[in-house]
A = this chain, B = another copy of it.
């Protein structure tokens, strides 16, 4: 065992979260899966929970299950997610996709600021966020003020003003992993009279968020990354309690209506967060999300955050020593306090390297044009996986020189 191997073995042995890896289905223990920030692993409890929903709740109880728990799923699982995000109950629901949730809340925000015609976001916000905002801006005749990637509070302050309706950013940047200053930026937006919409896809379940404490207005997030909800699992949305009855989302469906089974004429929004639902809840998807969320809650977001820092610190150190000499640049913040649970490595040959890593049992992902992301989902990633991933990448670089 090399000195490095001994060192990571000691880190894994001392890891208070190490036992959580056994709570996930791991078919190939040697696989270095550094992509849990794109698709989180399968919790071991998920197949049994899905079998229960499918075989008993659907197969046996049939339509009666709507009255025996299904109708409450969006709110029940939403509240569990809210707890991870620092949101008091009654402000989060699970629904739709992240894209549709973004659309609903951004549209609601723009409608609430009819006299303002600017949206602030950044050029490297996740693509679907940018496209949703572009679509809404086009229809509203609004303008997007594009900030540089990963904007600082100062950059946001320089962009907002009396015309700003909405500031919409990702809390943890999907490419660099930078944690944006959610508190400061929210204050700056509010001081300008704008609303805020945060995308928590890369922070929910990996770093503390503190939505209520920061007085965030609106947020959305994805459940198939750090929350381990499964491929294409439904998303969540947050609307601060004091805004729920003042804003109005645009997709008026029966599940968001007051007393939906009255089938009455005329849409009237339900009270509270339920008004932000539209269609029939996707029961299978939400049930799977619940299992992942409960695991994250059991581990505790502070412990998860601490391990995320330790994993990315190790990756950063190894990248500096082993990869920098081969022209690989670190694309993430060097200060752990400013960095989420993934590390971006930049290399012009990134796409081919990603494929070659996979051939050697190291799964990372590539984000055009040059970014390799090492996603180090704390509940399922070992320090040994980090070592292996960086070492294999170093070997590939050495072979190609």
Task: List chain A positions with a Cβ less than 8 A from chain B.
Answer: 25, 27-28, 33, 35, 38-39, 41-42, 46-47, 50-51, 54-55, 57-60, 62-66, 70, 96-100, 103, 123, 126-128, 130-132, 134-135, 139, 222, 224, 230-235, 250-255, 257, 260-267, 278-286, 288, 358, 363, 365, 367-368
A46 in contact with B38 (CB, 8 Å): no
Smallest beta-carbon distance A50→chain B, Å: 6
Q: Report the separation of the CA atoms of residues A65 and B232 in the bound assembly, to the nearest whole angstrom.
A: 12
- Of the candidates B59, B96, B281, which one forms a contact with A100 in the assembled complex, judged by CB atoms under 8 Å apart? B96
Known: A25-B60, A64-B358, A128-B278. 11 other contacts (CB 8 A): A58-B230, A98-B279, A99-B279, A103-B253, A128-B279, A131-B252, A131-B254, A139-B250, A224-B280, A232-B282, A262-B368
B252 in contact with A134 (CB, 8 Å): yes
Contacts of A39 in B (CB 8 A): 58, 62-63, 66
Smallest beta-carbon distance A299→chain B, Å: 19
Closest to A367 in B: B263
B99 in contact with A255 (CB, 8 Å): yes
A54 in contact with B47 (CB, 8 Å): yes
Q: Report the separation of the CA atoms of residues A155 and B262 in the bound assembly, to the nearest whole angstrom.
A: 26
Closest to A175 in B: B263
Q: Report the separation of the CA atoms of residues A38 and B280 in the bound assembly, to the nearest whole angstrom.
A: 12
Contacts of A96 in B (CB 8 A): 96-97, 100, 279
Q: Report the separation of the CA atoms of residues A365 and B285 in the bound assembly, to the nearest whole angstrom.
A: 25
B253 in contact with A132 (CB, 8 Å): yes
Contacts of A281 in B (CB 8 A): 231-232
Chain A to chain B contacts (Cβ below 8 Å), 15 pairs: A25-B55, A35-B63, A39-B58, A41-B62, A97-B279, A99-B254, A127-B260, A127-B264, A130-B267, A131-B267, A224-B280, A234-B282, A235-B279, A261-B368, A285-B285
Contacts of A278 in B (CB 8 A): 97, 99-100, 103, 128
Contacts of A98 in B (CB 8 A): 279-280
- Of the candidates B132, B134, B285, B368, which one forms a contact with A282 in the assembled complex, judged by CB atoms under 8 Å apart? B285
Contacts of A265 in B (CB 8 A): 123, 130
- Of the candidates B54, B66, B263, which one forms a contact with A368 in the assembled complex, judged by CB atoms under 8 Å apart? B263
Contacts of A139 in B (CB 8 A): 250
Q: Report the separation of the CA atoms of residues A142 and B255 in the bound assembly, to the nearest whole angstrom.
A: 24
Q: Report the separation of the CA atoms of residues A386 and B283 in the bound assembly, to the nearest whole angstrom.
A: 29
Contacts of A367 in B (CB 8 A): 263
- Of the candidates B46, B50, B103, which one forms a contact with A251 in the assembled complex, judged by CB atoms under 8 Å apart? B103
Contacts of A127 in B (CB 8 A): 254, 257, 260, 263-264
